[in-house]
Amino acid sequence: MMNSSNPVPAHVARFWQRVKALTLFLLMIWLFVSFSFAFYARELAGLAVFGWPLPFYMAAQGTTLVYLALIGAYVLVMKKLDALAAAETANEN
């Protein structure tokens, strides 16, 4: 166990920097999807998806599918980051 006076190992700092960057990126996508279709609903009403106006489709199904995709992307990238961090930790020891 490390003392509070010891610096964090470089690979641990890189791991958390990558996790924060991934989280920020995915949250920015969530913010865009959540608020852009509601904010621009009138302007986007002329576009249709499967015969339904785009804002209605995004509110009914589209945003849920995007949220599921974001969760899936987070899981896949975090698995890779965890494996990379484990390899770096093993190389350190």
3-state secondary structure of 48: strand
- What are the structural domain ranges in the chain? 26-92
Whether the model clears a pTM of 0.85, i.e. scores above it, the answer is no
Per-residue pLDDT tens digits for 5-64? 668 888 889 999 999 999 999 999 999 998 887 788 788 888 887 888 888 877 778 888
Full DSSP string of 51-62: TEEHHHHIIIII
Whether the Cβ atoms of residue 55 and residue 64 lie closer than 8 Å to each other:
no
Q: Can you give the pLDDT at residue 3?
A: 56
Per-residue pLDDT tens digits for 51-83? 888 888 777 788 889 999 999 999 999 999 999
Residue appearing with tokens 């339904």:
52
Number of residues in the chain: 93
